[in-house]
């Protein structure tokens, strides 16, 4: 009798242990199955496009370290050329400018493409050019942007050929050009006119000239889809004068037409 009870108890114990093992095995099986299912979908999640939230992540962008902001800008596809950490950055990646001067007003338009291709074959990725005011406004109020003075076509050709542009807008350019690019008629606007200064009579003419020129350049800035990565104000002014108010006025004027992002 006792032996029978003992066998029954042993049988129940074995059955209970078997059930526990079965439950554990089932649980482990389902956990492994869930893990495999998750891993199978993981590549899909990894390949999803980056979709920033404008309201929240846009604000956080300005609190990130500079290198993270540059990397993030690259992800969202914003065209941007800037200077940071002692480097040039183009669309979030370090960029080395290999540039040279090729002045559109010194080359016949029919040779522009040939000369630009030769420059590119040399390894250049950036073209620098001045803009001579006296070429485009030989007489007061008479503006010329055709033929050899077709600046916009030259800039678009640079873009077509994959070349960036550093634009030297003056108003004084030097460039071994007559009167440094100033129109001769500037000398007659006032008996005591002072060029390259805060003289109101001079600045009025500069504002009129840039009011025509810079709106032509604005759509061709790099941030707007064009090739222009920088715009130079004046030229070698430090060896000529010390009129900081004049330079500040030019910067403000340029920003008014070109925006805050372009490097001056």
Give residue limits of the domains in the chain.
1-48, 97-258
Please compute the mean of the pLDDT values over residues 30-56 and round it to a whole number. Answer: 46
List phi, psi (to 5°) of 239: -90, 5
In angstroms, how far is the first alpha carbon of the chain from the final one?
105
pLDDT band at 206 (very low <50, low <70, confident <90, very high): very high
> pTM of this prediction?
0.72
Decide if pLDDT at 77 tops 70: no
The pLDDT of residue 78: 85
Give Rg (Cα) of the chain. Answer: 34
Give the E-state strand segments of the chain in sequence order: 81-84, 87-90, 93-95, 99-101, 126-130, 164-168, 228-232
Mean pLDDT of 84-94: 97
- What sign has the CA pseudo-torsion 42, 47, 51, 57? positive
**Backbone torsions φ then ψ of 210, nearest 5 degrees:** -70, -25
Q: What is the pLDDT of residue 43?
A: 47
Is the pLDDT at 70 greater than 70? The verdict is no
Identify whether the C-beta of residue 78 lies closer than 8 Å to the C-beta of residue 72: no
> What was the pLDDT predicted at 125?
99
* Average pLDDT rounded to a whole number, residues 179-204: 97
Determine the Cα–Cα distance for residues 192 and 46; give it in Å rounded to an integer. Answer: 70
Q: Is pLDDT of 104 > 90?
A: yes
- For domain 97-258, say whether CATH 3.20.20.80 is its number: yes
Give the residue-averaged pLDDT of 143-164: 99
Q: Band the pLDDT of 65: cuts 50, 70, 90.
A: low
Strand 81-84 relative to strand 99-101, pairing: unpaired
């Amino acid at each position: 009798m006792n032996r029978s009870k003992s066998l029954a108890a042993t049988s129940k114990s074995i059955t209970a242990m078997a059930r526990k093992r079965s439950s554990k095995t089932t649980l482990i099986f389902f956990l492994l199955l869930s893990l495999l299912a998750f891993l199978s979908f993981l590549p899909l999640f990894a390949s999803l496009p980056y979709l920033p939230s404008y309201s929240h992540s846009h604000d956080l962008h300005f609190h990130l370290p500079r290198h993270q902001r540059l990397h993030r800008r690259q992800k969202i596809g914003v065209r941007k050329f800037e200077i940071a950490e002692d480097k040039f950055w183009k669309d979030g990646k370090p960029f080395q400018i290999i540039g040279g001067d090729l002045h559109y007003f010194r080359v016949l338009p029919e040779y522009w493409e040939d000369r630009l291709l030769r420059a590119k074959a040399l390894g250049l990725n950036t073209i620098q050019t001045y803009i001579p005011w006296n070429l485009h406004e030989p007489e007061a109020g008479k503006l010329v942007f055709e033929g050899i003075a077709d600046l916009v076509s030259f800039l678009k050709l640079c873009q077509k050929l994959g070349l960036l542009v550093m634009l030297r807008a003056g108003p004084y350019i030097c460039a071994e050009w007559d009167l440094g690019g100033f129109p001769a008629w500037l000398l007659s606007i006032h008996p005591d006119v002072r060029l390259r200064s805060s003289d109101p009579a001079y600045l009025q003419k500069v504002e009129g000239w840039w009011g025509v020129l810079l709106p032509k350049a604005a759509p061709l800035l790099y941030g707007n889809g064009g090739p222009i990565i920088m715009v130079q104000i004046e030229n070698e002014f430090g060896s000529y004068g010390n009129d900081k108010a004049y330079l500040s006025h030019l910067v403000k004027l340029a920003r008014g037409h070109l925006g805050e992002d372009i490097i001056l």
